[in-house]
């Protein structure tokens, strides 16, 4: 199996790059963040505090998360319901960052992520893929960008979905998510020692993808991928 891990902070462009990379390699892209969004959505819909560890642990006992692929597009199923589109709201995004710090949530989803990676060639992106989920991934990347650039990209993405926010608000939200992700006690955001650092601040998406492909080809010729 070929497993590629892409980690990095919010707004670095991980999902966009990972999808294109998977398409170029003709393998599956697994959006791990969507799984945490699904848990957050269920908590919100049921009136459960997304920071309440005990309540979320109970919620998880009766929660089924699954991934399906339709026309090469990933769909997230929450208790059998397709929630692919409705997990992209700002409220769910904020909730996902909070539920992700809870060990019980991470362990449940990591089990599913590892199972998929054992069965398929995958490109997987998130916060702790190379350090915790797939520590033996064939190639690992840590994708980042300046906070100003990440905020600008995230604002464009939100506006495209019909959500209007100020750049300052988006920047503050990203700072908060960075702090939350990097300071969480369980599987925090950090660059794996053997991950390749790529700063996308002044690069196009295509340039980043081509840079990653170059590293993957090199690893393949050396028998590492």
Residue 222 has pLDDT above 80, yes or no: no
**Quick one: average pLDDT of 71-80?**
89
Q: With contact defined as beta carbons under 8 Å apart, do 5 and 215 qualify?
A: no
Residue carrying structure tokens 């929630």: 83
The pLDDT assigned to 50 comes to 95
Residue 134 has pLDDT above 70, yes or no: yes
User: In terms of Cα–Cα distance, which of 10, 69, 4 is closest to 36?
Assistant: 10
Q: To the nearest whole number, what is the mean pLDDT of the chain?
A: 92
Pairing of strands 81-82, 73-78: antiparallel
- Tokens representing 15 are 């999902």
Over pLDDT 70: what percentage of the chain?
99
pLDDT digits (tens, 9 = 90+) for 193-208: 999 999 999 999 999 9
The pLDDT assigned to 225 comes to 63
The pLDDT assigned to 164 comes to 85
Residue 224 has pLDDT above 80, yes or no: no
> In terms of pLDDT, which residue wins out, 31 or 123?
123
Residue 132 has pLDDT above 70, yes or no: yes
For residues 170-206, one letter each, b for 16 or more C-beta atoms within 10 angstroms of the residue's C-beta and e for the rest, the string is: bbebbeebbebbeebeebebbbbeebbebebeebeee
User: CA 180, CA 132: separation in Å to the nearest integer?
Assistant: 17
Q: pTM of the full predicted structure? A: 0.83
Residue 90 has pLDDT above 90, yes or no: no
Residue 133 has pLDDT above 70, yes or no: yes
**Quick one: average pLDDT of 153-179?**
90
The pLDDT assigned to 79 comes to 96
Bridge partners of 75?
A: 68
């Amino acid at each position: 199996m070929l497993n590629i891990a892409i980690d990095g902070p919010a707004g670095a462009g991980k999902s966009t790059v990972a999808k294109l990379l998977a398409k170029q390699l003709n393998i599956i892209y697994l959006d791990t963040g969507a799984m945490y969004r699904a848990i957050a959505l269920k908590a919100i819909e049921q009136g459960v505090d997304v920071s309440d560890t005990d309540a979320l642990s109970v919620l998880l006992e009766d929660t089924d998360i699954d991934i399906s692929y339709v026309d090469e597009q990933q769909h997230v199923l929450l208790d059998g319901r397709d929630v692919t589109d409705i997990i992209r709201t700002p409220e769910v995004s904020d909730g996902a960052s909070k539920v992700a710090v809870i060990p019980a949530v991470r362990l449940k989803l990591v089990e599913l992520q590892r199972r998929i990676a054992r069965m398929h060639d995958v490109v997987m992106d998130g916060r702790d893929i190379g350090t915790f989920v797939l520590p033996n991934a064939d190639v690992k990347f840590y994708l980042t960008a300046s906070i100003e650039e990440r905020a600008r990209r995230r604002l464009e993405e939100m506006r495209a979905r019909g959500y209007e926010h100020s750049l300052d608000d988006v920047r503050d939200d990203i700072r908060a998510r960075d702090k939350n992700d990097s300071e969480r006690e369980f599987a925090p955001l950090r660059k794996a020692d053997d991950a390749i650092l790529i700063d996308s601040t002044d690069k196009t998406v295509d340039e980043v993808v081509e840079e990653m492909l170059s590293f993957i080809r090199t690893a393949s010729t050396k028998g590492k991928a």
